[in-house]
Structure 1
Amino acid sequence: MSEAVLAVEAPGVSAPGASGARQFWRRLRTQRAALVAAVVVALLVLVALAAPLLTAIEGQDPTTYHPSLVDSARGGVPIGSFGGVSAEHWLGVEPQTGRDLFARLVYGARVSLGVALAATVVQVVIGVVVGVAAALGNQWVDQLLSRITDVIVAMPLMIMSLALLAIVPSSFPRPVLVALVIGLIAWGNIAKIVRAQTLTLKELDYVSAARLSGWGSWRVARRELLPGIAAPVITYAALLVPTNITVEAALSFLGVGVKPPTPSWGQMLTAADVWYQAAPQYLLLPAGALFVTVLALTVLGDGVRTALDPRAASRLRVGTGRKREAKA
């Protein structure tokens, strides 16, 4: 079939290509909150990637103990003001061990962001494959995959994660294990979204024309359907990342996530629950980092959703115009 027939654009679905990318960036630039969130996320990623360089500049590392910097007579409280803040230890030291807090915080960003992003990739890959296969398969395939998806959605994420992480040998790399467990348990919702979107797109003229031309199901999916479902998948994935960061922190807080001495924000919070009075910065620093990261990613995800959905932007403009007319 000719490309002209196959390029018929579905209502409400932006055609992929350079023009679509330009429209996306133009809409995203109009949202100041999303731009600020994007800058914050970029800085967090940069800090995580540059953790070895930053700690080398400080002259510390996240695992070395400094017993001389804590007061053993008081139970291990850091010596000095603000938890031992100094030129050698920019954010102070950890109670009892004397490990450098700045080094553990920036290395913890690598673990928390890395686990969340890896888990999101696993969720998206499984969800897209299952959703597209269910929509393109026959009735039996659709029913089977839909029932499996329903079971996955019904599973309590935290309970299943706790059970799986508790029985896996400790020799398995813990950050990789946490990412796999989260990804393998929480892909159901994105599979449902992809299935519903694919069922809608497969009835459109340009997809029907491609199928009538003799293309196989997977070629149709790769060339025609995947570009059409990219917007909702990207939107949902952007909102999954902060959720996965929270889940990783919760699992580490409960003691089944990332294990010491590997630093993690959730693990730092676990140890900080008994030190919040004697050394409050030990609790406030990882908690603040988690709050800022989750908030920035959530705002950015909402901005991506609005930029990828022209109908949402149109509704916003129409609503604003009506309010202005009412005020006039």
Structure 2
Amino acid sequence: MSEALVASRAPGTDTSVPGVSGARQFWRRLRAQRAALVAAGIVALLVLVALAAPLLTAIEGQDPTTYHPSLIDSARGGVPVGSLGGIGGDHWLGVEPQTGRDLFARLAYGARVSLGVALAATLVQVFIGVVVGVAAALGNRWVDQLLSRATDIIVAMPLMIMSLALLAIVPSSFPRPVLVALVIGLIAWGNIAKIVRAQTLTLKELDYVSAARLSGWGAWRIARRELLPGLAAPVITYSALLVPQNISVEAALSFLGVGVKPPTPSWGQMLTAADVWYQAAPQYLLLPAGALFVTVLALTVLGDGVRTALDPRAASRLRVGTGRRREAMADAGASAGATTADAGAGTVHASSGTVHASSGSADASTGSADASATKEAKA
């Protein structure tokens, strides 16, 4: 029944049900944004490097954990031997100070950790947030109040402090990347739950959802068949913006020493070890910091492009508003021109009336003169 209502809507209305044509429109709008395409290419390259890290390091002939003491100048405190941090054919980006481990291998494997933790944490956040938000919107008043207050508590929790506390008490035998992803995901799902609840409350009032409810569908069937397709756009948009945020959180936790533990490489962990080498070996600090900056920036730009492609009305509001202002100014100009023309016509009519009045006065004077002449003739 609800499907019939959706199909019978007027052309041009948004049914919020994604299909083949909707996917084609999304890709066409996304391709129209050059910045989003460049960001997508950078993200794809980073993901490819992360996935192909074993192959790339095998081509280089290095690995991320092997020490090379012969490439370190002990007399200078552990600075790499050679120019630019020991860059050469055997070590494409040089080696680490004090240890001599290959920087390219550690950056490639660090991308796996940073991107993997961020994506896993985002999936946990989205799953919990969607379930809680939909349950709060479809439940009765007490369920809504209970879940909404729980969401407020989660949002009010300081993410970094809670993560530090939880990561400090968990045994080190637990896999650290998995633990970091779980901690971030379990603490930071409040905002997406609020977004999903607000959007679900809006979708509940639409006709096709009401028709599905009147036809006897259960709450979870309505949520799965009618509400979740409508929630896809805001959830995907917010998820695309969560990934760079989670990358930054993972890097900060590793920088503080409670994230991924050595010898597993991580960009945040590399920044922690590089804070005392920024003068003697600046590439050791600039490489992980630059990789982190480029990744976060590319994901942020891509997330904004996805938001615009999924909701083109947001991008066209400025153009529509400008067009309406131009139309209003044109109408005002036309009205002013018409008023001026009417005023000119009134002036012409008034002048004509004056001329007619002057003619009438002349005729009256002529009549008076004729009457006087007639009287004199009779006399």
- TM-score tier by shorter-chain length is over 0.9
Q: Deviation digits for residues 94-129 of structure 1, max 9, x if unmatched?
A: 000000000000000000000000000000000000
Aligned partner of 1:3 in structure 2 is: 3
Aligned partner of 1:25 in structure 2 is: 27
Aligned partner of 1:235 in structure 2 is: 237
Contact 2:3/2:208, CA 8 A, preserved across alignment:
no
- Structure 1, unpaired ranges of 5+: none
- Give the TM-score, by structure 2 length: 0.83
Residues 136/2 of structure 1: CA separation in 2 closer, same or farther (3 Å cut): closer
Contact 1:116/1:179, CA 8 A, preserved across alignment:
yes
Give the Cα separation in 2 of the matches to 1:100 and 1:323.
60
Contact 1:116/1:245, CA 8 A, preserved across alignment:
yes
25-34 vs 121-130, greater mean Cα deviation: 25-34
Deviation at 1:15, TM superposition (A): 2.9
Runs of 4+ with >3 A deviation: 6-14, 319-328
Give the Cα separation in 1 of the matches to 2:29 and 2:378.
26
Residues 66/316 of structure 1: CA separation in 2 closer, same or farther (3 Å cut): same
Residues 33/44 of structure 1: CA separation in 2 closer, same or farther (3 Å cut): same
Residues 326/233 of structure 1: CA separation in 2 closer, same or farther (3 Å cut): farther
Percentage of pairs with the same residue: 91
Residues 10/234 of structure 1: CA separation in 2 closer, same or farther (3 Å cut): farther
Aligned-pair Cα RMSD in Å: 8.8
Contact 1:134/1:145, CA 8 A, preserved across alignment:
yes
Give the Cα separation in 1 of the matches to 2:166 and 2:175.
14
Residues 225/10 of structure 1: CA separation in 2 closer, same or farther (3 Å cut): farther
Deviation at 1:19, TM superposition (A): 1.2
Give the Cα separation in 1 of the matches to 2:152 and 2:45.
38
Contact 2:250/2:268, CA 8 A, preserved across alignment:
yes
Give the Cα separation in 2 of the matches to 1:326 and 1:44.
121
Q: Deviation digits for residues 158-205 of structure 1, max 9, x if unmatched?
A: 000000000000000000000000000000000000000000001100
Give the Cα separation in 2 of the matches to 1:11 and 1:173.
53
Residues 9/21 of structure 1: CA separation in 2 closer, same or farther (3 Å cut): farther
Indicate the SS of the match to 2:151. helix
Contact 1:161/1:182, CA 8 A, preserved across alignment:
yes
Residues 10/165 of structure 1: CA separation in 2 closer, same or farther (3 Å cut): farther
Q: Deviation digits for residues 121-144 of structure 1, max 9, x if unmatched?
A: 000000000000000011111000
- Structure 2, unpaired ranges of 5+: 327-375
Give the Cα separation in 2 of the matches to 1:254 and 1:205.
52
35-44 vs 318-327, greater mean Cα deviation: 318-327
Deviation at 1:11, TM superposition (A): 11
Give the Cα separation in 2 of the matches to 1:59 and 1:326.
140
Deviation at 1:7, TM superposition (A): 4.2
- Higher-RCO chain (CA-CA 8 Å, sequence separation at least 6): 1
Give the Cα separation in 2 of the matches to 1:259 and 1:8.
58
Q: Deviation digits for residues 183-234 of structure 1, max 9, x if unmatched?
A: 0000000000000000000110000001111110000000000000110000
- Give the TM-score, by structure 1 length: 0.96
Give the Cα separation in 2 of the matches to 1:50 and 1:274.
31
Give the Cα separation in 1 of the matches to 2:78 and 2:47.
33
Contact 1:165/1:256, CA 8 A, preserved across alignment:
yes
Question: Is 1:170 aligned to residue 221 of structure 2?
Answer: no
Residues 9/281 of structure 1: CA separation in 2 closer, same or farther (3 Å cut): farther
Aligned partner of 2:36 in structure 1 is: 34
Contact 2:2/2:208, CA 8 A, preserved across alignment:
no
Contact 1:6/1:210, CA 8 A, preserved across alignment:
no
Deviation at 1:322, TM superposition (A): 7.1
Indicate the SS of the match to 2:96. coil
Give the Cα separation in 1 of the matches to 2:144 and 2:108.
45
Residues 32/262 of structure 1: CA separation in 2 closer, same or farther (3 Å cut): same
Indicate the SS of the match to 1:255. coil
Indicate the SS of the match to 1:176. helix
Residues 139/293 of structure 1: CA separation in 2 closer, same or farther (3 Å cut): same
Contact 1:6/1:209, CA 8 A, preserved across alignment:
no
Return the match for 2:298 from 296, 299, 303.
296
Residues 9/65 of structure 1: CA separation in 2 closer, same or farther (3 Å cut): farther
Deviation at 1:86, TM superposition (A): 1.2
Residues 70/314 of structure 1: CA separation in 2 closer, same or farther (3 Å cut): same
Contact 1:251/1:266, CA 8 A, preserved across alignment:
yes
Deviation at 1:5, TM superposition (A): 1.6
Residues 327/255 of structure 1: CA separation in 2 closer, same or farther (3 Å cut): farther
Deviation at 1:320, TM superposition (A): 6.3
Q: Deviation digits for residues 40-68 of structure 1, max 9, x if unmatched?
A: 00000000000000000000000000111
Contact 1:7/1:206, CA 8 A, preserved across alignment:
no
Deviation at 1:236, TM superposition (A): 0.2
Contact 1:9/1:15, CA 8 A, preserved across alignment:
no
Give the Cα separation in 2 of the matches to 1:207 and 1:86.
64
Deviation at 1:23, TM superposition (A): 1.1
Deviation at 1:315, TM superposition (A): 1.2
Residues 10/205 of structure 1: CA separation in 2 closer, same or farther (3 Å cut): farther
